[in-house]
């Protein structure tokens, strides 16, 4: 038979003309393949075996997992079902449990027994694509099929969905260990995903998932409905579902609508097994009814067995027997690969099957509906029902994702853990304005961050399309090297161990840090170190002009004024040449220097107006001249001292540089402990010490050349040694807030804070009391820190440059360094002049003088009224005789009886001098002091009242002296007579009437 086969092959190949070049090589390959096909076909036709009844004998070997004991019964049922509808075939089925620990499968005793009986086909339903089984089948010339009954089909579909969302990293969560093992094997052998697989969600598993770094972009949970409910309850309770849109659920049964409400979240992505899968696997025309106990794995195995038996009968598949089951000694059966390829190609064309390209794995054609948050590209083209969250946005069929029109899957965002630490205004925790306690995010439970870097990070997440979590370092801040092994803490340490993906904070780019991490292009202008101090608070006093002279000087001036006034009064009183004592020399009216007038003269001599008229005596003038000299000198001294006092106060300025600060001792200063500024001074101090040691060694070893090292000044400055000593003496602060607080609390501006220039300028923009001193020194840039060799470095650099082109950083700087936030600060410029706060006391003194003048006026009025009331008690009303007649009074003296209580009015005739005498004689002494009189007034009429006997003459309420304006007395209708003490009333009346008679003779 072999000779016949060879003749047939040669006959067919003789018609194929091999050619040279690439075309000839391709034809040669076709010839080889054709040769093998012909040989196998001839061999099969020669080795076909029939049983005694003439039926085609088919031997099927099924290799299954030990964990799948149900497979033999499923295959037996499927074979029986096929044979009921098929005639002319007898099937012998053999089952081998696969021992995963045995590497050389062909040496298995079970396989040797089966091969001795004869095998037509080998069906592998294990989830391991064993090259040993495939090699054995090929070498023995047995067709080999790998059927997937494991979870790998679902994993492959989930991989398709994850890749459709433009992601490649995922955490798989399976219901059991067997499913997890199968998933791991598939991911290792046939997947491009970067994945981590977990079985179940125990407490330890949840902790391990939370500790995954970098943070995964997706979570994939594969389980049936009951298992899914359990797993997601555990995930929710364990705090894993922080971002539901990253969770992808694949339900392996058609009863996925049985998910509980807490699990059935619309913001999670679900792959739901479609009901049409039942129709496909049961090979029924849709719509069909899916059985309640429908088993996808069993239905798939039934379909494969039916197709394989039918194909075996069609091709008359022979039985292969071998006495020696050693693979190495078996004959080369190249025909098995041809038969396998033909069988796989035939199955791939069938609807119930899905064969992945480049693989002989026969999978079930499972249709999944995609229920996922989607982006609607055209709202007008989508009906309202299409917006239902439970409406599928697409499907997955045979590893291909198909979406409904106008819908698209939301692209999977990358997720990063971004490190930051507190540094105002770069990044700081938002605090309650009342209690001052940090606020917490109601969703994550973490702190709420604000600041320049936070806004910058948010913009990066928008342009780079990623999500992030802000993470503060567990210990330290920006990063310090510690330990003998060179470990780091802070953000640098977190990057080194991979706890964070990158850091966005006020971290400076230093050579020491670049040894362990990488930096992206700087995003902020050069920063450095600056000195902050409080603006000096000038002591304001309304009576600052009084502080020019000490208290003893003011008392001496007051004593000089009083002494001068007393001496001036004495000299004027006792000097025979004064105006008071020498009336002949000074007949005109001169100033009378009483004690009061002398005191007034001494006070007014201090004013530009002067004291007024000086004394006439030579002694008095000598005193005044000396006093005026004293006044001139005191005024000049006061004016000069006041100007100097105010000028010296305004000339007091703080230090202007770090060098000046280090050379003085009045102003203390500090820095934040273990900060970059503190490290800078430490390093500079160490450098000075090293230079000193080098210079000392150089000079001590110079030998005979010491003369060239003789210097007057020390060549190595100890500036930084002194600065660091002063910082340690003042005590480094723990935070920048504490440092600014210490500066702000020193009203005398005797404390300075050395810190980052950007933070100092931010604080100055919000505090009117602070000011910067000197220039920025030790400049360094800020940068984003990433892990060494990180793929994010180039991407971050590119988008930072794009943001710079859009002037994003300028607007961000204007937002945080905004001087308008602090409001209008008081003007403290030296050219502002003297303020009212310093000389307001002058105006207060003027107001006090005005108030005293008003009080004096009030006292004068009160005193006058009281005096008038006392004088009115002795008033006697005298009316002309004609007026008395008009009032019905008798001529002469008319009075009521002594027993009457009515007041008495006296009417006097001009010639009745005797009547006045009688009046005086008739009146008792007591009534001379107090009598009842009737006052007649043109406006008020007649008023009865008790008044005292007057001492002067009063007309209409105005007091007139006896020697002035007497002509008006006679014209008055009512006269009030005041009798001087010691003068007779009659004499006064006589003089009055004589005067009136002379003015108006009758």
| pLDDT, tens only, 658-703 | 888 888 888 999 999 888 899 899 999 999 888 888 888 877 777 6
Question: Higher-confidence residue: 159 or 715?
Answer: 159
**In this structure, what token pair is assigned to residue 772?**
């910067």
167 CB-near residues (< 8 Å, 6+ apart): 217, 218, 412, 414
Binding positions for L-glutamate: 513, 677, 756
Do 317 and 238 belong together in one domain? no
Do 88 and 18 belong together in one domain? no
Question: Higher-confidence residue: 412 or 585?
Answer: 585
H or E stretch covering 866: helix 836-871
pLDDT value, residue 324: 63
- Is residue 744 situated within a structural domain? no
How does pLDDT run across 752-774, given as a tens digit for each residue?
A: 999 999 899 999 888 888 888 88
pTM of the model: 0.62
pLDDT value, residue 952: 39
- Is residue 371 situated within a structural domain? yes
In the chain, what percentage of residues exceed pLDDT 70? 72
Q: Distance between CA 561 and CA 116 in Å, rounded?
A: 145
User: Residue 996 — very low, low, confident or very high, per pLDDT cuts 50/70/90?
Assistant: low
Do 283 and 401 belong together in one domain? yes
CA count, 13 A, side-chain hemisphere, 75: 25
Say if residues 198 and 174 touch (Cβ distance below 8 Å): yes
User: What is the arithmetic mean of pLDDT over 921-939?
Assistant: 39
CATH code, domain with 173? 3.40.50.2300
How does pLDDT run across 192-244, given as a tens digit for each residue?
A: 889 999 999 999 999 999 888 878 888 999 998 889 989 989 998 888 888 88
Say if residues 243 and 217 touch (Cβ distance below 8 Å): no
**In this structure, what token pair is assigned to residue 68?**
């799948």
Chain-centre distance of CA 163, in angstroms? 37
How does pLDDT run across 9-28, given as a tens digit for each residue?
A: 454 444 444 444 444 545 55
How does pLDDT run across 429-483, given as a tens digit for each residue?
A: 988 888 888 888 877 778 899 999 999 999 999 999 888 889 999 888 888 888 7
- Beta-strand runs (E) in 244-393: 247-251, 269-273, 353-355, 361-364, 368-371, 374-376
Instruction: Tell me phi and psi for residue 317, to 5 degrees.
Output: -65, 125
pLDDT value, residue 32: 53
> Could you report how far apart the first and last alpha carbons of the chain are, in Å?
196
H or E stretch covering 91: strand 89-98
Q: Has residue 835 got a pLDDT over 80?
A: no
3-state SS string for 493-526 = HHHHHCCCCEECCCCECCCCHHHCEEECCCCCCC
- Beta-strand runs (E) in 314-462: 353-355, 361-364, 368-371, 374-376, 394-397, 400-403, 407-409, 414-419, 428-429, 449-450
Say if residues 195 and 227 touch (Cβ distance below 8 Å): no
Question: Higher-confidence residue: 707 or 147?
Answer: 147
pLDDT value, residue 68: 85
How does pLDDT run across 73-96, given as a tens digit for each residue?
A: 999 999 998 888 887 788 888 898
648 preceded by a cis bond (ω within 30 of 0): no
Residue 353 pairs with which residues in a beta bridge?
364
How does pLDDT run across 871-889, given as a tens digit for each residue?
A: 655 444 554 444 444 343 3
**In this structure, what token pair is assigned to residue 750?**
């005797």
- Is residue 658 situated within a structural domain? no
Do 427 and 303 belong together in one domain? no
H or E stretch covering 232: helix 225-237
416 CB-near residues (< 8 Å, 6+ apart): 214, 215, 466, 467, 468, 469, 500, 501, 502, 792
- Is residue 169 situated within a structural domain? yes
Q: Mind giving me the DSSP string for 233-287?
A: HHHHHTT--SSGGGEEEEE-STTGGG--TTT--TTSEEEEEPTHHHHHHTT-PSS
Count the neighbouring beta carbons within 10 Å of the beta carbon of residue 739.
Answer: 28
pLDDT value, residue 907: 44
Do 114 and 239 belong together in one domain? no
- Beta-strand runs (E) in 673-831: 751-756, 770-780, 785-787
* Number of separate domains in the chain: 7
Do 903 and 953 belong together in one domain? yes
- Is residue 373 situated within a structural domain? yes
Do 189 and 307 belong together in one domain? no
Q: Distance between CA 260 and CA 228 in Å, rounded?
A: 9
Q: Distance between CA 59 and CA 113 in Å, rounded?
A: 13
Do 160 and 291 belong together in one domain? yes
CA count, 13 A, side-chain hemisphere, 706: 7
pLDDT value, residue 444: 72
How does pLDDT run across 36-67, given as a tens digit for each residue?
A: 444 444 444 445 677 777 788 888 989 888 88
pLDDT value, residue 939: 44
User: Apex CA 11: angle with CA 5 and CA 15, to 5°?
Assistant: 145
pLDDT value, residue 379: 47
Do 326 and 255 belong together in one domain? no
Residue-averaged pLDDT of the chain: 76
What Rg, from alpha-carbon coordinates, does the chain have?
60
Q: In this structure, which long-range contacts are made by residues 471-477, counting pairs with CB atoms below 8 Å and at least 24 apart in sequence?
A: 471/417, 471/418, 471/419, 471/420, 471/499, 471/500, 472/419, 472/420, 472/421, 472/422, 472/447, 473/419, 473/421, 477/421, 477/422, 477/423, 477/675
Do 187 and 244 belong together in one domain? yes
User: What range does the domain containing 106 cover?
Assistant: 56-148+298-364
CA nearest to 615, candidates 581, 589, 578: 578
User: What is the arithmetic mean of pLDDT over 931-936?
Assistant: 38
pLDDT value, residue 518: 94
How does pLDDT run across 627-658, given as a tens digit for each residue?
A: 999 999 998 998 888 887 777 666 556 788 88
H or E stretch covering 977: strand 975-977
How does pLDDT run across 278-305, given as a tens digit for each residue?
A: 888 888 887 788 887 888 899 999 999 9
- Is residue 977 situated within a structural domain? yes
Listed range (7-21, 150-164, 302-316) with the worst mean pLDDT: 7-21
- Is residue 638 situated within a structural domain? yes
pLDDT value, residue 494: 92
Residue spans of alpha helices (H) in 735-835:
736-744, 757-764, 792-805, 808-816
344 CB-near residues (< 8 Å, 6+ apart): 145, 355, 360, 362
User: What is the arithmetic mean of pLDDT over 319-347?
Assistant: 65
User: Residue 108 — very low, low, confident or very high, per pLDDT cuts 50/70/90?
Assistant: low
User: Residue 972 — very low, low, confident or very high, per pLDDT cuts 50/70/90?
Assistant: very low
pLDDT value, residue 325: 61
CATH code, domain with 458? 3.40.190.10
Q: Has residue 914 got a pLDDT over 60?
A: no
Domain boundary among 600, 632, 650: 650
Do 405 and 435 belong together in one domain? no
Q: Distance between CA 394 and CA 403 in Å, rounded?
A: 4
Q: Distance between CA 4 and CA 90 in Å, rounded?
A: 29
- Is residue 667 situated within a structural domain? no
Q: Distance between CA 803 and CA 812 in Å, rounded?
A: 11
CA count, 13 A, side-chain hemisphere, 612: 12
Do 373 and 506 belong together in one domain? no
Q: Has residue 714 got a pLDDT over 80?
A: no
How does pLDDT run across 800-832, given as a tens digit for each residue?
A: 999 999 999 999 988 888 877 666 776 665 555
Say if residues 765 and 819 touch (Cβ distance below 8 Å): yes
pLDDT value, residue 695: 81
How does pLDDT run across 602-617, given as a tens digit for each residue?
A: 888 888 777 778 888 8
Q: Distance between CA 101 and CA 103 in Å, rounded?
A: 6
């Amino acid at each position: 038979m072999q000779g016949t086969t060879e003749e047939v092959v040669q006959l067919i190949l003789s018609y194929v003309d091999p050619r040279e070049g690439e075309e000839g090589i391709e034809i040669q390959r076709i010839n080889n393949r054709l040769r093998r096909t012909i040989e196998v076909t001839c061999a099969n036709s020669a080795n076909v075996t029939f049983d005694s009844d003439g039926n085609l004998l088919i031997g099927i070997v099924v290799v299954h997992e030990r964990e799948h004991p149900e497979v033999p019964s499923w295959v037996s049922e499927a074979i029986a079902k096929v044979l009921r509808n098929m005639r002319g075939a007898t099937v012998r089925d053999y089952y081998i449990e696969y021992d995963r620990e045995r590497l050389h499968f062909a040496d298995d005793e079970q396989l040797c027994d089966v091969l001795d009986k004869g095998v037509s086909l080998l069906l592998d339903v294990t989830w391991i694509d064993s090259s040993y089984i495939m090699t054995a089948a090929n070498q023995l010339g047995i067709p080999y099929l790998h059927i997937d009954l494991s979870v790998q089909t679902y994993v492959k579909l989930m991989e398709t969905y994850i890749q459709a969302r433009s992601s490649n990293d995922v955490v798989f969560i399976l219901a059991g260990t067997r499913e997890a093992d199968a998933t791991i094997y598939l991911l290792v052998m046939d997947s491009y995903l970067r994945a981590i697989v977990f079985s179940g969600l125990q407490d330890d598993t949840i902790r391990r998932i939370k500790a995954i770094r970098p943070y995964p972009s997706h979570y994939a949970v594969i389980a049936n409905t009951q298992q899914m409910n359990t797993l997601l309850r555990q995930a929710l309770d364990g705090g894993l579902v922080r971002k539901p849109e990253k969770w992808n659920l694949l339900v392996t049964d058609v009863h996925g609508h049985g998910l509980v409400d807490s699990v059935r979240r619309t913001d999670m992505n679900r792959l739901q097994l479609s009901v049409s899968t039942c129709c496909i696997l049961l090979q029924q025309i849709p719509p069909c009814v899916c059985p309640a106990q429908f088993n996808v794995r069993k239905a798939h195995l039934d379909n494969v067995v039916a197709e394989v038996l039918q194909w075996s009968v069609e091709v008359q598949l022979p039985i292969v027997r071998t006495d020696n089951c050693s693979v190495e000694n078996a004959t080369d059966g190249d025909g098995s690969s041809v038969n396998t390829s033909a069988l796989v190609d035939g199955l791939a064309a069938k609807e119930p099957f899905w064969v992945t390209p480049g693989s002989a794995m026969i999978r079930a054609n499972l249709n999944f509906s995609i229920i996922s948050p989607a982006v609607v590209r055209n709202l007008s083209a989508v009906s309202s029902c299409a917006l239902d969250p439970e409406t599928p946005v697409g499907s997955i069929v045979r590893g291909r994702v198909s979406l409904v029109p106008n819908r698209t899957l939301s692209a999977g965002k990358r997720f990063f853990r971004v490190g930051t630490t507190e540094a105002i205004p770069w990044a700081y925790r938002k605090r309650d304005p009342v209690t001052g306690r940090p606020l917490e995010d109601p969703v994550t439970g973490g702190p709420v961050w604000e600041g320049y870097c936070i806004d910058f990070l948010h913009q990066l997440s928008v342009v780079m399309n990623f999500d992030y979590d802000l993470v503060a370092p567990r210990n330290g801040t920006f990063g310090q090297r510690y330990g003998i092994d060179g470990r780091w803490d802070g953000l640098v340490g977190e990057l080194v161990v991979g706890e964070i993906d990158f850091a966005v904070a006020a971290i400076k780019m230093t050579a020491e840090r670049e040894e362990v991490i990488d930096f992206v292009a700087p995003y902020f202008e050069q920063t450095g170190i600056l000195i902050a101090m409080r603006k000096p608070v000038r002591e304001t006093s309304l009576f600052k002009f009084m502080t020019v002279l000490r208290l003893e000087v003011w008392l001496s001036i007051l004593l000089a004024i009083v002494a001068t006034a007393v001496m001036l009064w004495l000299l004027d009183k006792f000097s025979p040449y004064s105006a008071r004592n020498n009336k002949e020399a000074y007949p005109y009216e001169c100033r009378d220097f009483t004690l009061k007038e002398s005191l007034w003269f001494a006070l007014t001599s201090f004013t530009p107006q002067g004291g007024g008229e000086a004394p006439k005596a030579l002694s008095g003038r000598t005193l005044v001249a000396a006093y005026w000299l004293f006044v001139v000198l005191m005024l000049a001294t006061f004016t000069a001292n006041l100007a100097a006092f105010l000028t010296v106060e305004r000339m007091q300025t703080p230090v202007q540089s770090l060098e000046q600060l280090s050379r003085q001792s009045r102003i203390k200063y500090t820095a934040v402990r273990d900060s970059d500024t503190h490290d800078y001074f430490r390093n500079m101090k160490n450098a000075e010490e090293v230079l000193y040691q080098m210079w000392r060694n150089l000079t001590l070893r110079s030998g005979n050349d010491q003369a060239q090292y003789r210097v007057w000044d020390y060549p190595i400055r100890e500036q930084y040694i002194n600065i660091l000593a002063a910082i340690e003496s003042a005590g480094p602060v723990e935070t920048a807030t504490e440092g600014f607080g210490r500066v702000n609390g020193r009203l005398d501006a005797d404390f300075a804070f050395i810190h980052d220039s950007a933070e100092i300028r931010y604080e100055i923009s919000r505090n009117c009391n602070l000011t910067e001193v000197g220039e920025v020194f030790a400049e360094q840039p800020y940068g984003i820190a990433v892990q060494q060799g990180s793929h994010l470095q180039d991407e971050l650099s590119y988008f930072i440059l794009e943001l710079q082109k859009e002037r994003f950083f300028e607007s961000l700087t204007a937002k945080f360094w905004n001087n308008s936030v602090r409001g209008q600060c008081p003007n403290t410029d030296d050219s502002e002049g003297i303020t009212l706060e310093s000389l307001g006391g002058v105006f207060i003194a003027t107001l006090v003088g005005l108030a005293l003048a008003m009080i004096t006026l009030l006292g004068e009025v009160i005193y006058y009224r009281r005096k008038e009331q006392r004088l009115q008690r002795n008033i006697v009303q005298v009316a002309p005789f004609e007026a008395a007649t008009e009032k019905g009074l008798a001529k002469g003296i008319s009075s009521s009886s002594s027993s009457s209580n009515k007041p008495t009015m006296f009417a006097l005739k001009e010639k009745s001098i005797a009547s006045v005498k009688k009046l005086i004689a008739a009146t008792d002494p007591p009534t001379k002091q107090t009598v009842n009189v009737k006052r007649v007034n043109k406006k008020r009429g007649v008023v009865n009242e008790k008044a005292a006997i007057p001492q002067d003459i009063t007309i209409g309420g105005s007091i007139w002296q006896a020697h002035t304006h007497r002509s008006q007395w006679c014209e008055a209708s009512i006269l009030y007579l005041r009798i001087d003490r010691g003068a007779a009333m009659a004499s006064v009346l006589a003089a009055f009437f004589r005067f009136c008679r002379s003015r108006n003779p009758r």
